[in-house]
Amino acid sequence: MAELELNGHALNEQELKIEELEAHQERRRTALEGLVERRKHPRYAVDAWAEVMVRDGRILFRGRVLDISEGGCYIETEARLRLAPGTQVEMVFRLDGAVFRCEAMSRMVRTRGAGFLFSNLDAGLRAELEQLIRELSGS
């Protein structure tokens, strides 16, 4: 098993994955601080890369999908976002081998990311999303 050094300590691949997951969860907790829960659907932690483009083409950014629900997702990014609530976007990301390409609307923008509400999902994409949510929920 390969070992890497982090802050003077040798870590194997498993320890690195645990360290990355803990950092991922801490970033998510920070992103959610002070928010009032208004979602209708439970969220599930995921880790996927996404590309998001504002419908008028003026902004394109990449980020990590940190959580997903039947209604939307949260994407963390290093980009400095200037999106007003209600901005229409198109996004694409891959989760568990399925490619999700959909329209969404920005709901809230934070310093390191934004929350999006899915819109106009066709029947096939809705079915794939529902299957993914069933797998994530363990049901």
Q: How far apart are CA 97 and CA 101, in angstroms?
A: 13
Q: Which CATH number belongs to the domain containing residue 53 in this structure?
A: 2.40.10.220
Mean predicted lDDT score pLDDT of the chain: 83
Measuring CA to CA, how many Å separate 72 from each of 3, 39, 89?
37, 9, 12
State the pLDDT at residue 86.
Answer: 94
Instruction: Please tell me the distance from the alpha carbon of residue 93 to that of residue 59, in angstroms, as a whole number.
Output: 17
Is residue 63 domain-shared with residue 124, that is, in the same domain?
A: yes
Q: Greater confidence, 71 or 2?
A: 71
Domain that holds residue 82: 40-137
Do 47 and 12 reside in the same domain of the chain?
no
- Based on the fold, state whether residues 49 and 116 are members of the same structural domain: yes
Are 25 and 52 within one domain?
Answer: no
CB atoms within 10 A of CB 89: 22
- % residues pLDDT > 70 (the chain): 71
**53 and 4 assigned to the same domain:** no
Tell whether the model's pLDDT for residue 31 goes beyond 90: no
- Count of domains observed in the chain: 2
pLDDT at res. 90: 97
Nearest in space to 75 (alpha carbons), one of 123, 40, 42, 43: 43
Residue % of the chain over a pLDDT of 90: 53
- Please give the pLDDT value at position 40: 72
pLDDT range class, residue 56, cuts 50, 70, 90: confident
Q: Does one domain contain both 1 and 23?
A: yes
Both 62 and 11 in a single domain?
Answer: no
> Nearest CA to 65 among 45, 37, 79?
45
Looking at residue 1, its pLDDT comes to: 45
**Would you state the pLDDT for residue 111?**
86
Shared-domain flag, residues 23 and 80: no
Residues in the chain: 139
Is this structure's pTM higher than 0.75? no
